[in-house]
Amino acid sequence: MSDNQNNPLSRRKFLGNTSAALAAFGALQVASGQEAVPIRSKDHHLINETETQPKNKMLDDQNPSSNWPPTTDAGGQQPFKYSFSLSHKRIEGGGWTRQVTVRDLPISKKMAGVQMRLIKGGIRELHWHVGAEWAFMIGGSARITAVDQQGRAFVDDVNEGDLWVFPGGIPHSIQGLGPDGCVFLLVFDDGNFNEFETFLLTDWLHHTPPEVLAKNFDVPASTFANVPPKELFIFERDLPRPLAEEKHQVEAVTGPVPNTFAFFTSKMAPTKVTKGGSVKIIDAKNFPASNIAAAIVTLKPGGLRELHWHPNEDEWQYYVKGSGRMSVFAAGGRARTMDFQAGDVGYIDKSTPHFVENTGDEDLVFLEVFPTPHYEDISLAEWLAHTPSRLVNEHLGVGEDFLNKISKKEAVVDPE
């Protein structure tokens, strides 16, 4: 290899000269009356756009922004989407579950998610996790229970649109109610979380010597003869007793938890409403028990979750219904657009700007979840509106009239 090839300055000069030569060639084409040859078409009919190899048409149709990316996409931004449809489903007598973790979506370092279905009477057995659990009821109804460090009890019923949170180490359970049980989403503040390796009551007692159990509870060892030989995990049993009766029972002596673990989002007025949709923000300000912040976003057809970023934490997304696309700008000239449908997971690193747009003909509903008690975001429009207009115009050349008309208050969802 020559000295010039080893010299980064010489290489840069060569690349610069090559780019200049290509630009000059294009100018010569125009000057000589030759039309520039297009390399993209709206219907992808050009010879350089044709696909002659076998392909997965259904997958291509669901992901047009990857198959035919917008010209603004560039660089090697890693994928930030994974679908629950690709996850292994564990099916038990009382329902099923599946998960998306960092093992499936490598960018999802700080959070993981679980989908679960419980039939009427189906129980996710008494258990706990190291990390916190945040949950959203996708459909149906459930009875949830928990006990805190002071022995204070919690039991309540949640319905579609409601949510709950159980801090790390707090033992709890979930049971599907009638007539068709429930479907819900669980989000954990640990990307390495594994739903199939939680602390289960039956599993623990099965692995504890009977004589130790007898001594612990001061009863004969035969009391534990019917402890299952393996974990129950998800199983079917009779429906629980009336809520008022169970509350009275569990709250005896020590009383209830000081801050409820349930939040009835279905009864909450939106935090912000515009022509383009609405958003509900739930964090420690209105849900004191929660150390996980969230936003429930609804975009009408054509609506836009405006250009923004979150300065305090990573964002984990779940798409509840509808279809849309999200572009993420990862700095260094890297940007990528991906398409999302119901059941998909998205992930955005802290302080990384992005937008979400409804590309379908029905409402797009998705969740933004953050492993922090407090929700924070910074809007591009709000940033520009509160920066001297001359300074911004010197960057963008859009005119100060336009800049002065930008709303001083964050839109969250466009159009306002």
Determine which helix (DSSP H) or strand (DSSP E) holds 317, and give its type and residue range: strand 315-321
* Type of residue numbered 122: G
Is 368 part of the annotated catalytic residue set? yes
Binding site feature residues for Mn(2+): 127, 129, 133, 172, 308, 310, 315, 354
Give the number of other CB atoms < 10 A from CB of residue 401.
Answer: 9
Give the Cβ contact number of residue 167 at 10 Å. 20
Q: Residues at the annotated binding site? A: 127, 129, 133, 172, 308, 310, 315, 354
Of 260, 263, 233, the closest CA to residue 136 belongs to 263
Instruction: Give the helix/strand (H/E) hosting 214.
Output: helix 210-217
Active-site position among 368, 376, 410, 416: 368
Handedness of CA 79, 80, 83, 84 (dihedral sign): positive
- The distance between the two most distant Cα atoms of the chain, rounded to a whole number of Å, is 100
275-304 b/e with 16+ CB inside 10 Å = b?
ebbbbbbbbbeebebbbbbbbbbbbbebbb
Query: What is the C-alpha to C-alpha distance for residues 315 and 369, in angstroms, rounded to an integer?
Result: 6
Residues marked active site are found at 368
